[in-house]
Amino acid sequence: MDSKAFIRVDGLVKQYGPHRALDGVSFQVAEGHTLALLGPSGCGKTTMLRCIAGLETPDTGVIEIAGRVVFDAARGINLPSEERQLGIVFQSYAVWPHMSVAENVGFPLRVRRVPKAEQQARVARMLEIVGLGAWAEKSATQLSGGQQQRVALARALIHEPRLVLFDEALSNLDAQLREQMRMELKILQDRLGFTAIYVTHDQSEAFGLAERLVVMNRGRVETEGGPRSVFHRPATPFVARFLGLNVLEGEMLGSEGGQAEIRLPQGMRLRGTLGDGTIPARGSKVLACVRKEHVRFGGFGLPAELRASSFLGLTEEYVLDLGGIELRAVQPPTGGAPGDRVQVAIRPEECVVLPAG
């Protein structure tokens, strides 16, 4: 662990009866940077966020924020949420209907007994930052979903926390608003300089917002890295499947220069790039992981039959039968019909080969 990390989580364990929600989780975040905790429902990501926030108490481990230990099971340290200098934006907007927009946003300052004149000035400035200056005196329930989420964001930022936690904060918005809010959040973070942790199951949200990803599975860190490396070179079969890649079982025939040749069950051969870690032994079971966008039609390749297609606008998704193996491809629309025979090409540099275990 880097002693200069702004957030440091080390060996966190959280048990609910026989279920271990967190199983020795460790990671760190640099000041002013963003990290996304990504994974399916039940993987432990929200429990992790709640432990950082002080809303859950881990069984073992250490949490440090800005050089200050806020939790240490061994030393009996467990600071309450209000002493951890953080803001939280939840999935539900949680705006108070009996308050105006300005009163909702200013509530954390009232709790902290900030002088009234300073409250008003800071609320006005924050509402301008999130684009709600003209709505200050309106009832919060008169706002659209996207505007209510901005109220929740402004309320989390009004007391100028150095760390902001987002728990599925955009999932209640429609697709267009989510894209808009993603860009606005990046601009806002650059402007205010806070450190952020996002919890999400949405891959687009994680890749679009975070500079670093932690993919979680069954309470553990499955992989950690930059968005591009996680996207292009999944480290484990779980990550590949979670990201929607084709995962084909095969047998290792040999490797040279970082590339592997494998044999699929029907005898067809495929070349790919070895993943990081141990080189699989000849004859061992391996998995070839290929993005749907990297399965190309035409030229010389593997023979396949088109089974189904789904028009997506600019692209079309196809289900192919590769000698008894299901393969999915996303390509520009071709107008192909079920039963059509095609040739499928997969470049070695776009296929990651991992040990089956």
Q: What is the pLDDT of residues 325-352, one digit of tens each?
A: 999 999 888 778 899 999 999 999 999 9
Domains and CATH numbers, the chain: 7-232 (3.40.50.300), 245-355 (2.40.50.140)
Lowest pLDDT segment from 75-89, 181-195, 229-243: 181-195
Over range 294-319, report the average pLDDT.
90
Residue 357 has pLDDT above 90, yes or no: no
Instruction: Compute the distance between CA of residue 50 and CA of residue 57 in angstroms, rounded to an integer.
Output: 8
CA atoms within 13 A of residue 120's CA, in its CB half-sphere = 3
Confidence of residue 159 (pLDDT cuts 50, 70, 90): confident
Q: What pLDDT is recorded for position 2?
A: 54
Q: What pLDDT is recorded for position 157?
A: 87
Instruction: Compute the distance between CA of residue 142 and CA of residue 148 in angstroms, rounded to an integer.
Output: 9
Across the beta sheet with 325-331, what order do the strands follow? 325-331, 316-322, 296-311, 341-345
Confidence of residue 236 (pLDDT cuts 50, 70, 90): very high
Instruction: Compute the distance between CA of residue 84 and CA of residue 302 in angstroms, rounded to an integer.
Output: 57
pTM: 0.86
Instruction: Compute the distance between CA of residue 210 and CA of residue 218 in angstroms, rounded to an integer.
Output: 22
Q: What pLDDT is recorded for position 170?
A: 78
Mean pLDDT of all residues belonging to the chain: 90
Instruction: Compute the distance between CA of residue 331 and CA of residue 312 in angstroms, rounded to an integer.
Output: 10
| Tokens standing for residue 310 | 């789904």
Q: What pLDDT is recorded for position 150?
A: 84
In this structure, the dihedral spanned by the alpha carbons of residues 65, 69, 70 and 72, taken in order and rounded to 10 degrees, is 130
In this structure, the dihedral spanned by the alpha carbons of residues 47, 52, 58 and 64, taken in order and rounded to 10 degrees, is 150
The predicted-structure confidence for 164-177, as pLDDT tens digits, reads as follows 999 987 777 777 77
Q: What pLDDT is recorded for position 96?
A: 83
Q: Which helix (H) or strand (E) holds 156?
A: helix 145-157
